[in-house]
Amino acid sequence: DAAPLRISVIGTGYLGATHAAAMAELGFDVIGVDMDPSKIAALERGEVPFFEPGLPSLISRHVATGKLSFTTDLKAAVQASDVHFICVGTPQHPSSHAADLRFVDTATRAVAASLGHDGLIVGKSTVPVGTAARLREIVSEAAPAAVHAELVWNPEFLREGMAVEDTLHPDRVVIGGASPWAEERLRRVYDAALASGVPLISCDLPTAELVKVSANAFLATKISFINAIAGLCEKADADVAVLADAIGYDPRIGRRFLNAGLGFGGGCLPKDIRALMHRAGELGAYSAVKLMQQVDEINMDQRQRVIDLTLRALGGSVLNARVAVLGAAFKPDTDDVRDSPALNVAAALHLRGAMVTVFDPAAGPTAGRLYPTLSYADDLESAVRSADIVLVLTEWDEFRNADPTRLGALVERRLVVDGRNCLPVETWRDAGWEYWGLGHTSGAPRELVASRARAA
Ligand code: UDX
């Protein structure tokens, strides 16, 4: 049949809202479904409960064109569409590293039970390998006997801050477990991307599930690799940023995701590598468990290293020191503070008796809800005013490009810890700052470098 496919998207969080808007942009009629009525009402007004460039305007535009609507009525949405994307969350289980699959199970069962005609159910959530096969059983139990219901897996690789762009222009389309009927339907959904040359990888269900977690595990491994090498660079008086440039020219290595610093956080990488560890353990794949444990451990150690650096810079104690923390989001260009290394460090210093003031260009309000005991400033100047030490913990452009002379006039002491290896060291030094960083000799103050050189 050549009638245009109609799409429902179950779950309108980060993944679902973006996917729904992108599908409308591609010309499909899309219904976004969520059980939270206030979320639905907000989305209908084009309001998105998180910071994602381009998404609110895309949603407003397609709510206005009528291509995109939102509802809490799952059954009606399913009956009015042909392809159903499952985009609900898979949070970390409250009592273990396993993924909590409650929402995926419930949503899949509800979609299957609501089918009024043939339907393709497409899982997009990040799940432990083996989940999709189990969901297939749920579908065959719950779907009415008269309809053809099929479940396939189609992982999503979007990055926060680039979500719309990544969804409209994916690097690849992965489809797991599709029959010819299902593959034909999904080819129509992704026609624009496929026509522009984006590769389609059609594989079995477990491979599709594992592609997603392996991609994230590899990215996490790259970051922990360079952070381990950063530690070696410090001991050997080498410079990790120059080293990363040099090894990155080898196309087999590649320069991206080789920035040493405070390490990774956010709603995906930490949770996904822990879920992978857990699932690999269940399946007896111990090399994967060991590797991911090391990646996680190196990553968490970076936070302690920045805390130690701060203590050293202040002569051993942060008690009663005024600490300006620049950055709260887990990375720049987002207001997401889930598992944020920056806030983790800020909270640890607060517990040690420092007077911490946090400033972030976007994440102040979300950070304030999660860590209400920290103080928050409305702008960079008020954050650093009278500070004994300044910590740069998220590499926003506003901090990279800040004028160290202007900031130097506001602080009590010109001490800076560059937790993201993102400041121009010499410019800050020339403006009279003592610079502490990770992964290079210039990370220690000049006197220390000089005395080390004399000792050698
Ligand atoms: C990630 C994956 O990139 C994406 O493909 C997947 O779908 C979801 O998880 P995201 O969580 O948005 O996306 O963040 P990402 O841009 O990957 O950054 C992750 C973390 O790694 C951030 O905390 C960032 O600061 C850190 N990072 C990144 C480094 O410490 N060094 C680097 O070189 C790169």
Measured distance CA(298)–CA(293) in Å, rounded: 9
Closest by CA to 202, choosing from 191, 211, 213, 214, is 211
Per the domain annotation, does 123 fall within a domain? yes
Same domain, 175 and 85: yes
Of the three residues 202, 222, 237, the one that is the final residue of a domain is: 202
Looking at residue 446, its pLDDT comes to 47
87, 233, 268, 422: which one is catalytic? Answer: 268
Q: So what's the pLDDT on residue 440?
A: 85
Burial group, residue 225, by CB count within 10 angstroms (0-12, 13-18, 19+): middle
| Residue 160 CB–ligand 1 contact under 6 Å | yes
66 alpha carbon – ligand 1 mean position (Å): 34
Q: Does 102 map to a domain?
A: yes
For the question of an ipTM over 0.90, the answer is yes
Domain boundary among 167, 202, 237: 202
Is residue 208, in this structure, part of any structural domain at all? no
Instruction: Kindly give the distance from the C-alpha atom of residue 331 to the centroid of ligand 1, in angstroms, as a whole number.
Output: 7
- The CATH number covering residue 346 comes to 3.40.50.720
Q: Is the CB of 219 under 6 A from ligand 1?
A: yes
Cβ of 327 closer than 6 Å to ligand 1, yes or no, is no
- Of 241, 271, 298, the residue that ends a domain is 298
Q: Ligand 1 pocket, 159 CB below 6 A?
A: yes
CATH code, domain carrying 267: 1.10.1040.10
Q: Is residue 189 lining ligand 1, measured as CB closer than 6 Å?
A: no
Flag whether 207 is in a domain. Answer: no
Residues 287 and 380 in one domain: no
Which atom of ligand 1 lies at the shortest distance from residue 394's CA? 25
User: Do 116 and 34 belong together in one domain?
Assistant: yes
> What CA–CA distances, in Å, run from 10 to 55, 326, 413?
18, 37, 52
Task: Name the residue with the closest Cα to ligand 1, atom 7.
Answer: 157
Residue 1 belongs to a domain: no
pLDDT per position in the chain (456 positions), as tens? 568 999 999 999 999 999 999 999 999 999 999 999 999 999 999 999 888 989 999 999 999 999 999 999 999 999 999 999 999 999 888 888 888 999 999 999 999 999 999 999 999 999 999 999 999 999 999 999 999 999 999 999 999 999 999 999 999 999 999 999 999 999 999 999 999 999 999 999 999 999 999 999 999 999 999 999 999 999 999 999 999 999 999 999 999 999 999 999 999 999 999 999 999 999 999 999 999 999 999 999 999 999 999 999 999 999 999 999 999 999 999 999 999 999 999 999 999 999 999 999 999 999 999 999 999 999 999 999 999 999 999 999 999 999 999 999 999 999 999 999 999 999 999 999 999 999 986 655 544 544 444 444
Give the Cα separation of 235 and 307 in Å (integer).
18
Q: 118, exposed or middle or buried, with CB in 10 Å at 0-12, 13-18, 19+?
A: middle
Co-location of 15 and 133 in the same domain:
yes
Q: Indicate if 133 and 257 belong to the same structural domain.
A: no
Q: Are 67 and 39 in contact (CB under 8 A)?
A: no
Place of tokens 């968490």: 300
Expressed in angstroms and rounded, the spacing between residue 269 Cα and the centre of ligand 1 is 7
Whether residue 319 is found in the same domain as residue 340: yes
* Number of the ligand 1 atom closest to the C-alpha atom of 272: 9
Q: Does one domain contain both 87 and 141?
A: yes
Closest listed residue to residue 225, CA positions, set 202, 256, 196, 201: 256
Ligand 1 proximity of 419 Cβ (cutoff 6 Å): no
Same-domain check for residues 135 and 230:
no
Domain assignment present for residue 52? The answer is yes
- Would residue 422 show up in a list of annotated catalytic residues for this protein? no
Q: Cα of 131 to ligand 1 centre, how many Å?
A: 25
Residue 37: domain span = 6-202
| 89 and 176 share one domain | yes
405-435 pLDDT tens trace: 999 999 999 999 999 999 999 999 999 999 9
DSSP state of 91: P
The pLDDT of residue 445 is 53
Regarding whether 217 and 189 lie in a shared domain, the answer is no
- Give the tens place of pLDDT for each residue, 209-247: 999 999 999 999 999 999 999 999 999 999 999 999 999
Structurally, the chain folds into a number of domains equal to: 3
